[in-house]
Amino acid sequence: MKTPPPQDVAPATECVVVINCGSSSLKVAVLAARDGRMLLKALAERLGTPDATVAWESGGERGGIPLPGGGHREALQAVADRMENLRPLAVGHRVVHGGEEFSGSVLIDDKVLDAVRRCVPLAPLHNPANLAGIQTARELFPALPQVAVFDTAFHQTLPRAAYLYAVPYDFYADLKVRRYGFHGTSHHYVSLEAARLLGRDPGATSLVTMHLGNGCSACAVRDGRSVDCTMGMTPVEGLVMGTRSGDVDPGLHQYIHDRTGRSLDEITSLLNSQSGLLGLSGLSNDMRTLAEAAASGHGRAALAIEVFCYRLAKAVCGLTAALDRLDALVFTGGIGENSAPVRARAAAHWRVLGVRLDEAANAAHGANTGGVISAPDSRVACLIVPTNEELMIARETLRLVS
């Protein structure tokens, strides 16, 4: 006689594991393969130190453990231990720099790993960490296909007029000095969602998307392809960010060096980690803190916000040069989704584009409720689209393994 199958054991949920590996941190998101639902989210920090920890959230419940001295492998193992009743189909990795080697996501094999290694000089902090994440996942999930999704890939469609710097051409030919752009996964996802919101075919939609988080960038998307963006060879170019300066005069380095004796390394660090909103305000890199301080009379917090919004607005106008038409301006990222005053302030600089926000809609929409925030008579639609890079990586991963 056959034994009947057990009635009380639910079948394991098929899922995709998304990994974003930093040098001393590891972010993991596990999404349902069927509908992209977030099943488990984990963050390991201070890896390789006595204070290493891993924390997770799943089904509304939170937990965490200390992991003294633990590295990426121990952290990923701790997350895998939480995955009972989940059946991973594949692993998707966020990889920061794909250089000119990758114009889309790829299934990882040894050749791909070599190419990612060749891009290390372009992202010396990030790519080695991403490679460590891939190595760890290959060891822990040897049977699963692994996919790399690059921050730069979406921008590989930039025309040469947009990606070349006006420096001697040999720097491009010999050293790959050019503009690459970053946040590509977010700009790509948000542009697809914006087209959906507008009821248009993404292949026939012209947009400028603005990813405003700790790092900030804007992107001109014409007919579904990135045609220009504000970040360049490194993520410090372009908009004012939390701690990054964005564009400065290239003569600044020499001047600061001459006047203060600071070295090139010190100036680079100054422009990356002590500038932007933090540098201008002298208070914080966090827009929430600055908004509160400005409201209670902190002059330099107000100044930082003013510069942030003006530079954003000006960069967006510049990006429209890459478009034939402008269907919509799209806000995303922590600031873009949550800060109605920043959106209103930037929009006030776009009168020449015929932009008019609907005040009530601008105040009502946010991270949980993306939607249209422009007035009916605005010549250009303005939207909030909450970004979801994990979902985009999971979709790309499934697309490549199926």
Q: Which residues are catalytic?
A: 151
State the nearest-atom distance from the C-beta of 44 to ligand ADP, in Å: 16
State the nearest-atom distance from the C-beta of 171 to ligand ADP, in Å: 30
How are strands ordered across the β-sheet holding 371-372? 225-229, 216-222, 206-212, 328-332, 381-384, 371-372
In the complex with ligand ADP, which residue's Cβ is closer, 133 or 333? 333
Cα–Cα distance for residue pair 203/224, rounded to 1 Å: 5
Interaction pattern, residues 143-182, with ligand ADP; x per rule: CB under 6 A:
----------------------------------------
In the complex with ligand ADP, which residue's Cβ is closer, 77 or 272? 272
In the complex with ligand ADP, which residue's Cβ is closer, 116 or 210? 210
* Structure-token pair, residue 344: 């209103």
Q: Counting contacts by CB under 6 A, is residue 335 touching ligand ADP?
A: yes
Checking 371-380 for CB contacts under 8 A at 24+ apart, the result is: 371/197, 372/197, 373/331, 373/343, 378/354, 379/353, 379/354, 379/355, 380/326, 380/327, 380/328, 380/329, 380/350, 380/353, 380/354, 380/355
Q: Counting contacts by CB under 6 A, is residue 58 touching ligand ADP?
A: no
- Which residues, including other chains, have CB under 8 Å from residue 101's CB and lie 6 or more apart? 115, 116, 118, 119
Binding residues for ligand ADP, total number by CB under 6 A: 13
Q: Counting contacts by CB under 6 A, is residue 43 touching ligand ADP?
A: no
Cα–Cα distance for residue pair 180/97, rounded to 1 Å: 9
In the complex with ligand ADP, which residue's Cβ is closer, 88 or 242? 242
Segment 282 to 301, residues that bind ligand ADP, using CB under 6 A: 286-288, 291
Q: Counting contacts by CB under 6 A, is residue 239 touching ligand ADP?
A: no
State the nearest-atom distance from the C-beta of 239 to ligand ADP, in Å: 12
User: How many other CB atoms sit within 10 Å of the CB of residue 183?
Assistant: 29
Stretch that binds ligand ADP, among 27-35, 49-57, 88-96, 328-336 (CB under 6 A): 328-336
State the nearest-atom distance from the C-beta of 388 to ligand ADP, in Å: 11
Cα–Cα distance for residue pair 104/395, rounded to 1 Å: 13
In the complex with ligand ADP, which residue's Cβ is closer, 150 or 163? 150
Backbone angles phi, psi at 106, to 5 degrees: -140, 150
Cα–Cα distance for residue pair 181/186, rounded to 1 Å: 12
Q: Counting contacts by CB under 6 A, is residue 235 touching ligand ADP?
A: no
Residue whose tokens read 């040469």: 160
Q: Counting contacts by CB under 6 A, is residue 338 touching ligand ADP?
A: yes
Q: Counting contacts by CB under 6 A, is residue 339 touching ligand ADP?
A: yes
In the complex with ligand ADP, which residue's Cβ is closer, 77 or 214? 214
State the nearest-atom distance from the C-beta of 337 to ligand ADP, in Å: 8
In the complex with ligand ADP, which residue's Cβ is closer, 184 or 215? 215
Segment 194 to 223, residues that bind ligand ADP, using CB under 6 A: 213-215
Q: Counting contacts by CB under 6 A, is residue 242 touching ligand ADP?
A: yes
Q: Counting contacts by CB under 6 A, is residue 333 touching ligand ADP?
A: yes
State the nearest-atom distance from the C-beta of 36 to ligand ADP, in Å: 19
State the nearest-atom distance from the C-beta of 229 to ligand ADP, in Å: 16
Residue nearest to ligand ADP (CB): 334
Is residue 111 exposed (0-12), middle (13-18) or buried (19+ Cβ within 10 Å)? Answer: exposed
In the complex with ligand ADP, which residue's Cβ is closer, 335 or 373? 335
Residues binding ligand ADP (CB under 6 A): 213-215, 242, 286-288, 291, 333-335, 338-339
